[in-house]
């Protein structure tokens, strides 16, 4: 799955420059010119990283960071903060709120892209999927594409398997329908929002008494109990 980067800055020329160069590196790029739009995009898309300027209209960067980290849907997204001030107090506050790195303006595009790649490498290393995922008596083998409950193998469709693996890998974290669609979709799977509930309902039935491990979070999506 292509890494999705959100650029949040009210300098449109800078956004276009970063968008062009990040796309050249193979990233899927989204952008927002204010804090409120940034929060909406972050909830809607399955983002890999956010490049966030401190000086923004509506909500400043620190408030956007604070809200992202308080939201179960977006708390896991790594953030690189941009600041024109270069003051230590701004950097410290940003890092304390949960930002992963910072870049002081003016900066070179090459430096920012290097920072983006470095943060993504760290994040991917920390979140590297395990071959065997266990949630109680439910065992998901991501290599053999098999699921067993109390030793008995379940007959799951490819889409059901991908959904279960995504939820098990991120148990305790709320995944939106759009995020689940991204995880489930492949060259041999067709998933749209209106069918997501059907797939999850079928998966729960096949899990039997363990179906209630998958919780519905009203208005947001689904979560696997920890």
- Check residue 127 and give its pLDDT: 63
Nearest 10 degrees: Cα torsion 188, 194, 195, 196: 90
Could you state, in order of their start, the residue ranges of all structural domains in the chain? 4-126, 132-224
CATH fourth-level superfamily of 4-126: Response regulator (3.40.50.2300)
Distance CA 79, CA 28 (A): 16
Under DSSP, is residue 123 helix (H, G, I), strand (E, B) or coil? helix
Render each residue's pLDDT in the chain as its tens digit; 226 residues: 679 999 999 999 999 999 999 999 999 999 999 999 999 999 999 899 999 999 898 889 999 999 999 887 898 899 999 987 666 677 778 888 888 888 988 899 999 999 999 999 888 766 655 678 888 899 999 888 899 999 999 999 988 999 999 899 888 877 887 788 877 765 444 555 567 888 899 999 999 999 999 998 877 788 888 7
Q: How far is the CA of 204 from the CAs of 162, 164, 180, 214, in angstroms?
A: 14, 10, 15, 7
Number of H helices, E strands in the chain: 8, 12
What 198-201 contacts at long range (C-beta under 8 Å, 24+ apart), as own/partner pairs, is 199/157, 199/159, 199/160, 199/163, 200/163
Q: Give the tens place of pLDDT for each residue, 176-197.
A: 877 888 777 654 445 555 678 8
CATH of region 132-224: 1.10.10.10
């Amino acid at each position: 799955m292509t890494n999705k980067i959100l650029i949040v800055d009210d300098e449109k020329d800078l956004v276009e420059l970063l968008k062009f160069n990040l796309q050249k590196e193979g990233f899927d790029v989204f952008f927002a010119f204010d804090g409120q739009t940034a929060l909406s995009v972050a909830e809607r898309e399955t983002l890999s990283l956010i490049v966030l300027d401190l000086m923004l209209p509506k909500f400043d960067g620190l408030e956007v960071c604070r809200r992202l980290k308080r939201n179960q849907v977006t708390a896991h997204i790594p953030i690189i903060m941009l600041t024109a001030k270069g003051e230590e107090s701004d950097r410290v506050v940003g890092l304390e709120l949960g930002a992963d790195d910072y870049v002081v303006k003016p900066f070179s595009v090459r430096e920012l892209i290097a920072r983006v790649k470095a943060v993504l490498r760290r994040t991917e290393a920390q979140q590297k999927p395990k071959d065997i995922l266990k949630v109680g008596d439910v065992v998901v083998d991501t290599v053999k594409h098999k699921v067993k409950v109390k030793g008995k193998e379940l007959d799951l469709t490819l889409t059901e398997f991908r959904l279960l693996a995504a939820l098990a890998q991120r148990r305790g974290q709320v995944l939106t329908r759009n995020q689940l669609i991204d995880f489930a979709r492949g060259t041999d799977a067709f998933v749209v929002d209106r069918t997501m509930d059907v797939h999850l309902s079928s998966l729960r039935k096949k899990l039997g008494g363990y179906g209630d491990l998958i919780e519905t979070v009203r208005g947001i999506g689904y979560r696997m109990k920890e």
